[in-house]
Structure 1
């Protein structure tokens, strides 16, 4: 299109060369040509040249100069679509998509049919899920370029995403009948996508007819059969569905989903019918594992014993390490657990005596020596799962004595100690396992994870460093690779150590990973339409819509919210003020000691600053090398995450809300989301938002112990606030089904009466009892410290009780803490949480006594 401020032929030729240099990523040459135009006094303020120079500078990383030039160019030529388009490209490179959309719309005012601007606008609209705007833009592109495949596909997808299935199908039908279509794999994908749209519209019969008509033209025959089976079941055509799933099982007898669908198609009256079907397929496919394993789900009594006996013997004979994991889902049935345990104990005794699984097999060839080893291994995992730590350790020690070089045994022993509550001992066994095979990345990762659980962060970093890139700090490389499991574990470790800034840094890094994943989808908007992978593309869009419901984000967000709440309740002291206070009224000798201590701290801080500067320099060199290899790398410079700044945020609650909002949208089915929301809004004094949180949590689990604590505090808050007007009316109406017109004291009393056996419920009831009436401390303590006879007495719940006692949730109670830890130590002898710290002098004295005795 002609420029709104045209240049003479010589300068215009130079301007075209600038555009060509930008397209070919020859940015330095582009700057030379721009300089030639702008050095002419007549055109020193030419808007479009200034804009293109700014765009080129942005690609070279000179962002401030780029914005300055583009804004100058825009001011000099507000009617230029080029200036507006360039300004939009700059905003897009900084991920300011809303601003970029505004710029593109302004550009289209001056050049409404510009294909490139329309394409860029459509990409931003689908990225921001402005589906109505996307539909309008795709319509314009369709009208301007009706001969291009992407125009048709984009137009159809815009209606599909808006759930206007009829219009989407009309567009796809017209496109398929056009001469543009080629009968190849891409056409096959288009037909499958069209069938998916028909299914989503609810027309299963039409989808079946469509599949019948075009199945010969579809290359993916397995998907065709699976779709046939699904549609036949939906339409109640069971005999045809049986044929389909029979064919699929002939192709893949290990697919457990096919067996479930076949059972549905055969309309089995009970588990006996399903069992007979699976036995039939076991005979048909004797080498297939799936039918033999699935039989164990449906068999009971003697039949189960016979089947599981065969299954266990085969697994132990061959030495299948994940045998326990395979059977773990059966442990919901206590009878099946008892049967498995009795069989394994018989195997162990018989194998130790004469090398067979039972006494009746003495005439048969002996089992391999490893059969006893795998029996020990299975029993160790079995007892660990049931919480019998002593017996589990006995079995795993027997296995290690049998074969002291098998890595799985050391990993399992570490896992047993972890479940028993001794993370230090668990890490040591994983370290031994890692020492047996230093080239195994899985064992390396497991060992690092156990180190983090034991709060050994530097050791974990060194362990991971064996597999990260040389010349870069291990954590920097892991962050670059978006290794989120280690970052969430490290955040928890820093939180436990009280290093809140470091914990928040890890949480923010995870948050940035999810932002990057969402931004990475930008590349697929054009690629998928060009390659016709339309079903995968729609699946990608739907995945990105719920991305932050992922467990990694939930863990990081929960950790960050807890830390910000802690920082709000107990703000960190200002380090400068602390030093001034310390130096007042000190004796000369004490002052000298303090000065020496401060000098050492300054040296240490200086050393840490130098290390941080070196790490930053390495990062900059790495980013520079990446930009050299890919000069079109348009990455906005993110603020550096500095722990000291993060832990001294001006408003911790606002920072917590940033992590909370995605959870409220995408993890609303988890009660922890609403409980965390209540904690934030309670501190902000937002009554209606508190009410919203407890109402949502109440719908998920009305008897949740943590929710009860929120309800009592909400009643206390509303009682003290003296609500009036519309707020009071809303609270009264919305809480009528939750509180039943009772006050906080009565609500807590009723709650304790209803849940007088459950330890987690008693804990929250006791906390609220003390909160409402501090004089009832003795009663509150007696509720939770007498754990004998209570339900829910496990390591997690008992540790929470101990934390509540130590945090002063029930006032000062040192004697109660010591008696409670003594009781818990009897229940959990391996758990380090309940052990009193032993002074070094006592340990040394005991060592001396032992050496004397020896």
Structure 2
């Protein structure tokens, strides 16, 4: 962070020196550095090059040149400049540190080790230098040297550090992790007992001790260690798993396992884990009894998160049915509330058992009945047990009991969402928000549902209730500054659905830039973490950063952006701002007239801004004092006017292929880009990857036949030396002499009950093999709506296919009518909404 006044004073001082010595390269270089911090990057580089011309052998000039490249994220050129500066001044500690941090940033571990050794030679008494060398050796894979480095520094200490020395305690624990990674578990345990027994991080030490004892087979000691951990935290599942392993309980013996969990359930009357975990392994009548006890206990307390806690059991259909049967029994009055964990018989006459008025009060405060209705609403709304009519009936009953419950209205909104009525879903979630305007969570849920309804203005207005009022750019500017990924992504998807592709690209590009910022932000931690001694957290951060772009938000945004660029390649007219969304056009005369008018207005605006702009005026800064970048393309028009959309798509595709190669959608999107670029070998590579993940995937089937048909129609766009390999690999999916129609029909017969597979087969027939069969394909597509397993998402995708084929309107209308009959509450298929 730089103070603007200090920057001005720095330039003034530099100018005074340059008046006397205009060729002083070091001063010119420092002035360039100051100008760069004001945001004038191009001028700073020009001045830095001038400094080098004046003083080619000045390490300061080369160091500044490297700093400019680093600030511009050109790490390769920065590294070259630092190394040249270090040759001129080998003992400069600042150049050595900057070089080391940059090597760490780009994961040049061998170079980082070398730089750290050089730093230690100059400053041998600083612990952080020795720790940094150990980290470098550790990450480079030389664990033995890393341990020896830490041990060497410990031997130089004249007296043992006090217990209050957090940096020393952290170094001890870090050394222990290195010993453990070397596979020397016995020595790691001995080191833990000897050196780390008084560590402030007591929980970590206890966990490692228990793990080491278990790995070494010292079961009785491991059992005691895990029991000690459970005494500290009886809600951590991993501790129970460790205890089961230490006691050598056979996991196929449910009764022995249940006895252990019952022991801890009695020790912790208010605990949940010891009661919930047995539901995972119990079966039959044992499961029914345990589930009955657990459900009644939680329902009687009115725990809202009960369904979220047990829905994982629904993967087993028998357990799902048992839960449904039990809770339906509670609703019909057959269940008995167990307040103390034991079944009690219902009294024949409550009037004889209780004083007057007690029953009425209990009825008002008893949460059991509304909790049952709430649970059943979630149960029937869940995709593995879905019955939306029953779900709506149950949630209405729950709302009657508690009209002001935010949770109940949120669930009602979710039910409307699954019905396909996004308008009512958004309105219901907005009503839930008004019931508790101070709750940030319900505020974000309401905004998300508004975005799903394409109400972008309403969503940003809601989010503005919790953003900084003074933020530049309003609520949206604050959300972008705060890197609110979920909102930016949903906002982008909303614009994409509306056909506003420029704004959608802006949002997805913002997410892409955010991940680049996270990658860049780690630079400061290379020094900060070592200075503060937080070594284990630092190593964890480095390893997390190495997989940063595996994050789901990055993958979703990257795929959506790549799909938009594919659309722009297929339909270049979408890049024109005069195009009315994805599905609209204007006549060329009107379009040219509007473009001329827009061009004139843009030129006038540019001239007016040029007059106001002062090249020497410092750039605007944000609240941290950093230069603020002006958004010159607020609507994404420049992003749309790309000369090579497929090349731009690759900027998003490459990180996906590198960090998320097992994500089918990533490989399939890459295929669409590669096949349009005539990169048939790369398209085949993506196709083989997606086929290895799921050979029966519908999209993979379509793409396999598409690539084979392309190879039949013309020679594959691959080098001649690789032609045999291409043909051999493609033949593993679709042989050269295969009858594509028969292959497609066989695929259809094998998956005739699955709507997505039938749709893929019809795509192959209509788009690849027989375009004249569009009418029959349309009729077959209509019949997919009658399939038992067909979902609302399948129906929406089918309508999109029909429109993509430009099918006859009668088929589109018939499809919409049939879909409306199957999904009567879905707004997409209602009259006036489907056009």
Q: 2:746 aligns with which of 747, 750, 771?
A: 750
Show the counterpart of 1:710: 703
Show the counterpart of 1:255: 236
Show the counterpart of 1:35: 15
Show the counterpart of 1:396: 395
Show the counterpart of 2:722: 727
Q: 2:783 aligns with which of 780, 783, 786?
A: 786
Show the counterpart of 2:286: 303
Instruction: Give me the whole-angstrom Cα distance separating, in 1, the residues matched to 2:819 and 2:344.
Output: 41
Once the two structures are superposed, residues 608-647 of structure 1 have per-residue CA deviations (whole angstroms, 9 ceiling, x without a partner) of x99x99xx99xxx998463xx655x377778755511112
Once the two structures are superposed, residues 161-202 of structure 1 have per-residue CA deviations (whole angstroms, 9 ceiling, x without a partner) of 111111111111111222277342222211111111122222
> 1:528-677 maps to which residues of 2 (within 5 A)?
528-572=529-573, 582=587, 624=620, 626=622, 630-631=624-625, 633=626, 640=633, 642-677=635-670
> 1:199-598 maps to which residues of 2 (within 5 A)?
199-269=180-250, 270=252, 271-350=254-333, 360-361=346-347, 363=350, 367=362, 368-385=365-382, 386-471=385-470, 472=472, 473-572=474-573, 582=587
Distance 1:451 1:191, change over 3 A: same
Alignment check: 8 A CA contact 2:62 2:84 kept: yes
Q: TM-score, normalised by structure 1?
A: 0.87
Instruction: Give me the whole-angstrom Cα distance separating, in 1, the residues matched to 2:147 and 2:69.
Output: 36
Once the two structures are superposed, residues 32-51 of structure 1 have per-residue CA deviations (whole angstroms, 9 ceiling, x without a partner) of 332222112xx211111111
Instruction: Give me the whole-angstrom Cα distance separating, in 2, the residues matched to 1:196 and 1:476.
Output: 43
Alpha-carbon distance, 1:312 to partner = 2.0
Instruction: Give me the whole-angstrom Cα distance separating, in 2, the residues matched to 1:350 and 1:139.
Output: 76
Alpha-carbon distance, 1:502 to partner = 0.2
Alignment check: 8 A CA contact 1:572 1:648 kept: no
> 1:675-824 maps to which residues of 2 (within 5 A)?
675-723=668-716, 725-741=720-736, 742-770=738-766, 771-787=768-784, 790=787, 792-808=789-805, 812-824=807-819
Alignment check: 8 A CA contact 1:350 1:358 kept: no
Instruction: Give me the whole-angstrom Cα distance separating, in 2, the residues matched to 1:570 and 1:230.
Output: 59
Alpha-carbon distance, 1:828 to partner = 2.1
What SS class does the counterpart of residue 572 from structure 1 fall into? helix
Instruction: Give me the whole-angstrom Cα distance separating, in 1, the residues matched to 2:715 and 2:648.
Output: 29
> 1:120-131 maps to which residues of 2 (within 5 A)?
120-131=98-109
Alpha-carbon distance, 1:342 to partner = 2.5
Instruction: Give me the whole-angstrom Cα distance separating, in 1, the residues matched to 2:378 and 2:548.
Output: 34
Instruction: Give me the whole-angstrom Cα distance separating, in 2, the residues matched to 1:622 and 1:383.
Output: 61
Alignment check: 8 A CA contact 2:35 2:43 kept: yes
Show the counterpart of 2:52: 74
Alpha-carbon distance, 1:113 to partner = 1.8
Alpha-carbon distance, 1:301 to partner = 2.5
Alignment check: 8 A CA contact 1:565 1:653 kept: yes
Deviates more, 1:277-286 or 1:423-432: 277-286
Alpha-carbon distance, 1:775 to partner = 3.6
Instruction: Give me the whole-angstrom Cα distance separating, in 1, the residues matched to 2:618 and 2:403.
Output: 44
Instruction: Give me the whole-angstrom Cα distance separating, in 2, the residues matched to 1:311 and 1:255.
Output: 18
Distance 1:369 1:581, change over 3 A: closer
Alignment check: 8 A CA contact 1:451 1:460 kept: yes
Instruction: Give me the whole-angstrom Cα distance separating, in 1, the residues matched to 2:574 and 2:166.
Output: 66
Alignment check: 8 A CA contact 1:93 1:636 kept: no
Deviates more, 1:76-85 or 1:374-383: 374-383
Instruction: Give me the whole-angstrom Cα distance separating, in 2, the residues matched to 1:354 and 1:113.
Output: 77
Alpha-carbon distance, 1:308 to partner = 2.1
Instruction: Give me the whole-angstrom Cα distance separating, in 2, the residues matched to 1:25 and 1:200.
Output: 51
Alpha-carbon distance, 1:752 to partner = 2.1
Alignment check: 8 A CA contact 2:280 2:313 kept: yes
Instruction: Give me the whole-angstrom Cα distance separating, in 2, the residues matched to 1:342 and 1:668.
Output: 42
Instruction: Give me the whole-angstrom Cα distance separating, in 2, the residues matched to 1:407 and 1:676.
Output: 40
Alpha-carbon distance, 1:233 to partner = 2.5
Instruction: Give me the whole-angstrom Cα distance separating, in 1, the residues matched to 2:290 and 2:335.
Output: 23
Instruction: Give me the whole-angstrom Cα distance separating, in 2, the residues matched to 1:761 and 1:838.
Output: 27
> 1:91-110 maps to which residues of 2 (within 5 A)?
91-110=69-88
Alpha-carbon distance, 1:753 to partner = 3.0
Distance 1:358 1:149, change over 3 A: closer
Deviates more, 1:187-196 or 1:492-501: 187-196
Once the two structures are superposed, residues 430-476 of structure 1 have per-residue CA deviations (whole angstroms, 9 ceiling, x without a partner) of 11111222222111111000000011111111111111122442111
What SS class does the counterpart of residue 735 from structure 1 fall into? helix
Deviates more, 1:100-109 or 1:338-347: 338-347
Q: 1:85 aligns with which of 55, 63, 69?
A: 63
Show the counterpart of 1:11: none
Alignment check: 8 A CA contact 2:828 2:834 kept: no
Alpha-carbon distance, 1:652 to partner = 0.9
Alpha-carbon distance, 1:350 to partner = 2.8
Alignment check: 8 A CA contact 2:573 2:579 kept: no
Unaligned runs of 5+ in 2: none
Once the two structures are superposed, residues 689-731 of structure 1 have per-residue CA deviations (whole angstroms, 9 ceiling, x without a partner) of 1111111111111111100111001101111222483232111
Q: 2:161 aligns with which of 166, 179, 182?
A: 182
Show the counterpart of 1:6: none
Instruction: Give me the whole-angstrom Cα distance separating, in 2, the residues matched to 1:396 and 1:375.
Output: 10
Distance 1:110 1:666, change over 3 A: same
Show the counterpart of 1:12: none
Distance 1:670 1:722, change over 3 A: same
Distance 1:751 1:355, change over 3 A: closer
Show the counterpart of 1:15: none
Unaligned runs of 5+ in 1: 1-20, 585-590, 841-854
